[in-house]
Amino acid sequence: MSVDGCNTVLVLGGIRSGKSEFAESLVADAVVVRYVATAAGGDPDDAEWAARLEAHRNRRPETWTTEETGDDPRRLADVLANAQPHETLLVDDLGGWITVLLDPVHQPADDTATITELAEAVRACPARLVLVSPEVGLSLVPTTPLGRAFADALGSANRAVADACAAVALVVAGQPCWLKRPGAPATGPAGAPAVPFPGDPAPAGSDRHRAGIPAQAGPAEPDARVTPGAGASVPEPALPDVLTPAVPPAAPSADGTAWAAPTMALPMVATGLVIQNGMELPLPDEYAGPQAVERLATRDVPGAGLGILERVVGFAAATQGTPTPQPWGPVRVLLLHGDHEGGASAGSTADESARRAAQARGGVGVLARLAAENGATLQVVDAPTAGPIEIGPALAAEAVESALRHGWRLAEEAADAGVHLLVLAACGAGTEAAAAAVLAATAGAEPPAVLGRVVRDGTVDDTAWMSRCATVRDALHRTRHASRDAKTVLTELGGGDIAVATGILLGATARRLPVLLDGPVGVAAGMVSRDLAGQARHWCLLPDHGGHPAVRLAADVLGLTPLLDLRLDLGEGANALAALPLLRSVLALAAALPARGGDADPAGTPDADDDEAPEFAEPEPAGPGPTTTGSDDEERTYAPDRHAG
């Protein structure tokens, strides 16, 4: 179910009406949901109440996190006030919150003031927010003082919160009835996504799936894709917004406001993919690359020519399918924001990675500035948080399947939008250690050899480095008897960000879309993708290793020779963006150079054959490599590749 033009939704309903299931379906698309539980623990001897709570817990996906506020009713307003614009919160429910508020332990208190404070927090909440509350105003007036106090307080809370929300739904017998809709199209505060309202015609140029609330008529199962053998369905997350950073003016504006990044809507790409080992995906043109390099030898170039940068020309020619490649046009940066818990994040914090992601969303910081300088769009992708790998799996198997498909859809959406080149970036806490664990498992590397030094505020933190080494060592020991196939490695060691990155590489390969890598997450995804589709590495280019030992090792295994040795350490993705202008210049020069020798035009113009060179080939929806069955809406399976390297 979708709600257009609103960021906050209140779901009302009676007992067993289906209100909680409906509210959960509204946020089923989100990769990560913070579930705010308001009820107190209850009587441990009340088996029926405990069964109700357990049923609620069992419905929540493993990627959701839970926050309890039952010990203090005033905490709920603080949780909403401190939420971030990119977050999704589900509060269930206000009836439990009122029960705690009226508890004698929290009295005497000004209940009216507390309810008003909650309503103001809902109105100002920057996150995407769905609240659940029981509707008790349709029954008889309770005969007991405590019952009347509860009904009165909950009725007042429902009125105040409904007034603060942009949309209100009443669920009766499992059927939602919308009581309130926004008066005019609007967007959520501080860049939070707005969501379409059901029943309204979609405005021109809009996309009903941009906010990710599934379009369905009631509390039915959320839109899901089921992988055979997975045993459970995992909701497909909506694609994040695409930001277009702009180069700031030379002088700041008079009011001191920062430059803004406009957002464009994204379509939902329903692929119904089955991602499996040995997929047969397309390879770059094996003839165009060598022909492009041979052509350079006939150009009128002073000196020895382009040197190692000839590889850029060969790579572009092979991926574009022409011996006269053109400079890459539209570029998209995919910034993966996924944290890792436990010792993997020693020396780094989730707050710092969240700040980096918020900077990118706001159009500030190193990555956004470099993207603006290159005219690239920027997409911040939230990946599920990985658990401590030294204790247990990083992610559930179902979540890995969902993350792989989500990454594939991101690449497909970029290809459909006319993007010529992807740049893979990452900013999560603990990504280096997770990537090192993946490399150790797939390439047999020793953890200390692939873990770079930990630098905090300009100071080397050897204690954090040793903690990361111990974490990777313990994780490898824990999984010593586990399979080393791609999905098991992602489940046990890799986590959400590396799984999404792997899906991006696979989807880009299927759509013949080249990818720039330059950091641990990207190369770890490249290592994992070898088992799923050996062709993926041939669509990747490594501009610079950044001095990172993990990148150097993986590059050697994957056959990706770094083009430069600048040793930039600006964050994963930023190094590639810094080198991109040079790579584009090389392609422009190679395409425009005149022929050398007696046949050269005295004016120095390219020869006739060059004038007839094809323009940059748009990424194709399907190449000769993949095989499909059925229509686009049906499940698509790629046959195993028996010849991929």
- Positions annotated as catalytic residues are 572
> CA–CA separation, 10 vs 180, rounded Å?
9
Measuring CA to CA, which residue among 11, 268, 312 is closest to residue 134?
11
Q: Hey, what's the torsion of the CAs at 491, 492, 494, 499, to 10 degrees?
A: -10
Q: Using an 8 Å Cβ cutoff, are 358 and 402 in contact?
A: no
Neighbours of 238 (CB within 10 A): 24
Q: Using an 8 Å Cβ cutoff, are 428 and 421 in contact?
A: no
Pairing verdict, β 273-274 and 175-180: unpaired
> CA–CA separation, 336 vs 429, rounded Å?
11
Element spanning 512, H or E: none
Cβ-Cβ contacts under 8 Å for 474 (sequence gap 6 or more): 343, 390
> CA–CA separation, 164 vs 35, rounded Å?
20
Q: Using an 8 Å Cβ cutoff, are 118 and 69 in contact?
A: no
> CA–CA separation, 542 vs 308, rounded Å?
13
Q: Using an 8 Å Cβ cutoff, are 473 and 487 in contact?
A: no
Measuring CA to CA, which residue among 123, 104, 102, 126 is closest to residue 114?
102
Cα–Cα distance list, 157 to 15, 101, 145, 324, 417 (Å): 18, 11, 18, 67, 45
> CA–CA separation, 166 vs 16, rounded Å?
25
Cβ-Cβ contacts under 8 Å for 190 (sequence gap 6 or more): 85, 126
Pairing verdict, β 34-37 and 636-637: unpaired
Neighbours of 193 (CB within 10 A): 22
Tokens (6 digits) for 223? 């839109």
Strand residue runs (E) in 126-213: 128-134, 167-172, 175-180
Which ranges of 267-421 does DSSP label H, i.e. alpha helix?
Answer: 288-296, 310-320, 350-362, 366-373, 397-416
Neighbours of 222 (CB within 10 A): 21
